[in-house]
Structure 1
């Protein structure tokens, strides 16, 4: 599968501001960047730094005035696809060290508060069957409603409201999977099928010795996603983090088959 990506950001900075940007599809074995280009205005500072877990790049910018970022790329998806329901859970004592942090609660994913719930709701299932059941449960019990959550909304908040956007779905999915003793993290992706088109957040679960992308919104499929970055929760994979006041003028994302 090959997909074409175009992301356009237009922001206003009232004073010199430090910006951490993460919008480029990651150069990793599971996806090939066939071509890519990013346009930026004149900046006071530009530096690339490695993303969380070494996946993708973040860009440090220092800018003032109007910040226009235009990113285009064509990406070929090479990852091994599997039905998660068929994959086994790796016992905790056998997990690779880099996965351990994704067993723990994080700021937006309070997995320690959901262990009783997952045991009672999904207790008869194991491994990938349990993950698939969690995905289907979230998909059927939550409504996709823009505007009902904010950047401070946690998985617990969303669990109570039963409404949210992709970020909220991913947080709930990750939280419930972690509560089962299975590593799970949030992945920022470009994805086919997302409506309205935007930067997309999904869960990524560690089953059968590999990471697999799972979208509880039901809009995107693993074979049609280009990964940007990963993290404990959405705070680690924000496409733009500003250390100062910013105003959005315009923003758009387009993803289509190449």
Structure 2
């Protein structure tokens, strides 16, 4: 499948500020970036640096004027799709080193606090069957409500409130999966079917020696998702992080099938 992406960001900048952007579709084997262009304002400094796990690029900008960004791209998705229910768990002592960070608690995903819950609620399931059960439980239990959470909301908050947006669904999925001793990470993506259209978040779980996408919101399918970057949670892969004051003026994301 080929998907077209257009993203626009506009922020007021009252003074000199450092900004870290990550909004471009990653150039990785599971997807081919057929075309891409990013328009940036005048800047005092520009640099590209690798994203977490070397997936995607981050862009450093130093600027003193309004931040206006336009990104356009066409991406062909060619990742292998597997039925997660059938996949096997790798025992923790056999996990490759690069997956270990995604087995531990992180800022928004305090996995250790969920161990008793997953062991009692999902007893008798393991591996991909456990992941599928967690995904379905989240989809059935949570209510998707824009504006119901903020940048400080953690998986524990979402667990108790039973509501949130894609970021919150992903954080809870990741926390419950890690509590089941299965590596899980946060993926920032563009996805067809996401309503309202915006940056989207899904979980990736490590089963049968590979990473597999899981979207507990059930809005996007793996074959229609373009990956931007990954991290332990949203803090690692924010589309915009500012080191200084900025103020959102306008933001839009459009994703469509070519």
Query: Smaller-chain TM-score range?
Result: over 0.9
The aligned counterpart of 1:59 is: 59
Structure 2: how far apart are the matches of 1:194 and 1:77? 17
Structure 2: how far apart are the matches of 1:159 and 1:65? 40
Q: Displacement of 1:64 after TM fit?
A: 1.6
Gaps of at least 5 residues in structure 2 are none
The aligned counterpart of 2:42 is: 42
1:2 aligns with 2:6: no
The aligned counterpart of 1:254 is: 254
Structure 2: how far apart are the matches of 1:148 and 1:126? 32
SS in 1 for 2:160: helix
**Superimposed CA distance per residue, residues 4-57 of structure 1 (whole angstroms, 9 cap, x where no aligned partner):** 000000111000100000000000000000000000111111000000010000
Aligned length: 258
Structure 1: how far apart are the matches of 2:194 and 2:90? 31
SS in 1 for 2:65: strand
Structure 2: how far apart are the matches of 1:5 and 1:164? 25
Structure 2: how far apart are the matches of 1:105 and 1:66? 37
The aligned counterpart of 2:77 is: 77
Structure 2: how far apart are the matches of 1:148 and 1:190? 21
User: For 1:192-207, what aligned pairs fall within 5 Å after superposition?
Assistant: 192-207=192-207
SS in 2 for 1:109: coil
Structure 2: how far apart are the matches of 1:247 and 1:116? 42
**Superimposed CA distance per residue, residues 73-106 of structure 1 (whole angstroms, 9 cap, x where no aligned partner):** 0001111001100100011111111001100000
SS in 2 for 1:25: coil
**Superimposed CA distance per residue, residues 176-196 of structure 1 (whole angstroms, 9 cap, x where no aligned partner):** 000000000000000000000
Q: Which contiguous aligned blocks of 4+ residues in structure 1 show a shift greater than 2 angstroms?
A: none
Structure 2: how far apart are the matches of 1:95 and 1:76? 30
Structure 1: how far apart are the matches of 2:173 and 2:122? 13
User: For 1:153-232, what aligned pairs fall within 5 Å after superposition?
Assistant: 153-232=153-232
SS in 2 for 1:53: helix
The aligned counterpart of 1:91 is: 91
Q: Displacement of 1:65 after TM fit?
A: 2.1
TM-score, structure 2 length as denominator? 0.99
Q: Displacement of 1:153 after TM fit?
A: 0.6
